[in-house]
Structure 1
């Protein structure tokens, strides 16, 4: 193969590179038990404890187990994005793995695509498991349309919070990344009503929740079941898109500054 062909891969070769990189990243995370078991296990455990036990409970016509399915689906997909990219990328940066990748003919975008694709894949796995548990043991009934919308929003949500994971990876040292992510991720999840219905929280916290991107994602997920708040869906979408663009914009500035100082 000529040098030109290596430096300028064809479209077919590029697709194969992206596909293989995404596959290897997913397999790596799956084999990292501390990541895969915790990322999948925690939302499943919490949903069983706080959702399935309330399978016959209703509050104002809201089926609690179905309501909590939306909340813990968001909790799970956000966790997979933040830890998969925030911790994974931070560790790669500390180990010099990204520099090695960049010195090879592989497109840099393929590396980031693989990270994001793996986060999306884990998000889909988590939401699928939660949905199966809800249907099998929680007396949750979903139409094909609701299920399709849930999976679609899982992909969108995973990509949105992958941008936050990218920013954390660029700012936080590898050894501190898990702790910092937990300090951000867990309070945001609680304050957004992902663990308990937000209607059960103090009123001042209910007013604070719309500041958080996790709240807007959860309300979009709840709207699939017609359990959303009084805000328009456009407002929630705009908040989520704005959050993603903000994270990507700051990440881009930090990355270019690091490049100039290198």
Structure 2
């Protein structure tokens, strides 16, 4: 009697898990990325929201908690993808991955997961400092909402970093990312309210995705914002999808 053996496809989840685990270990072994990413936003927040915040009370501290959270989560997306993808592309690592029996999205998904882990960690560190040293008062719903906004808000910046990494070489990627990261943070009003900056900067602020994420974070934290959350979510989604598709097209060409 003949028996027919049906081959079953192996589950792809172990591959995703291994890629995420390896990416986590890689970042831990790269203090030049992990330490500045995790230390700079809390350090700046302590400086401006605690040590130099005289006379403004918790209002300024709450505002800066939201905006410095956005400033912090930009880095894992931009640098974690932009520099790493540029290096992997030059070294032939991406071509090697395509030749292996690894799910096509495993590398991308693992790096997105690690960017979200870093973003969540930064958000929690800032909230800990804000509530203990700066006198910020957040409800449980506000705290959870702010962590959610920061952890998901890193994704459009992952797409931007992916696009930069797909076009720029490994040596030029850090410089290009810094030219995007720091000016955008300033022009989007992350370091100080737009009302304190020249009027033309406030007019062009909606051009930057960081501005839209900051408005969502400000609204969730109960700080002054324009309240148009749906519009800002839509703009961030457009940024993320557009840069991801452009990067995918570029990487597909080799």
TM-score category by the smaller chain? over 0.9
Which residues of structure 1 form unaligned runs of 5+? none
Task: Indicate whether 1:137 and 2:133 are aligned.
Answer: yes
Name the residue aligned to 2:211. 215
Which residues of structure 2 form unaligned runs of 5+? 1-5
CA distance in structure 2 between the partners assigned to 1:9 and 1:136 by the alignment? 51
**Cα distance change on mapping 1:93 and 1:9 into 2, 3 Å:** farther
| Residues 231-246 of structure 1: pairs in structure 2 closer than 5 A | 232-246=228-242
For residues 123-149 of structure 1, give each alpha carbon's deviation from its aligned partner in whole angstroms, at most 9, with x where no partner exists: 111111111111111111111101111
Q: What is the CA distance between 1:75 and its match in structure 2? A: 0.6
For residues 44-98 of structure 1, give each alpha carbon's deviation from its aligned partner in whole angstroms, at most 9, with x where no partner exists: 1111111122556438xx7111110111110111111111111111111111111
Q: What is the CA distance between 1:30 and its match in structure 2? A: 1.8
For residues 226-254 of structure 1, give each alpha carbon's deviation from its aligned partner in whole angstroms, at most 9, with x where no partner exists: 32433521211111111111111211222
Name the residue aligned to 1:160. 156
* Residue of 163, 167, 171 corresponding to 1:171: 167
CA contact (8 A) 2:85 2:162 kept: yes
Name the residue aligned to 1:86. 82
Name the residue aligned to 1:117. 113
Task: Indicate whether 1:67 and 2:60 are aligned.
Answer: no
Name the residue aligned to 2:3. none
Q: What is the CA distance between 1:204 and its match in structure 2? A: 1.2
Name the residue aligned to 2:250. 254
CA contact (8 A) 1:69 1:134 kept: yes
Q: How many residues in Structure 1 have an aligned counterpart in Structure 2?
A: 249
When structure 1 is superposed on structure 2, of 183-192 and 240-249 the one drifting more is 240-249
Task: Indicate whether 1:10 and 2:6 are aligned.
Answer: no
- Give the RMSD, CA atoms, in angstroms: 1.8
CA distance in structure 2 between the partners assigned to 1:156 and 1:140 by the alignment? 23
TM-score normalised by L of structure 2 = 0.92
* Residue of 43, 46, 51 corresponding to 2:41: 43
When structure 1 is superposed on structure 2, of 186-195 and 101-110 the one drifting more is 101-110
When structure 1 is superposed on structure 2, of 20-29 and 213-222 the one drifting more is 20-29
CA distance in structure 2 between the partners assigned to 1:42 and 1:57 by the alignment? 24
Name the residue aligned to 1:101. 97
CA distance in structure 2 between the partners assigned to 1:229 and 1:145 by the alignment? 18
Q: What is the CA distance between 1:108 and its match in structure 2? A: 2.2
CA distance in structure 1 between the partners assigned to 2:93 and 2:237 by the alignment? 30
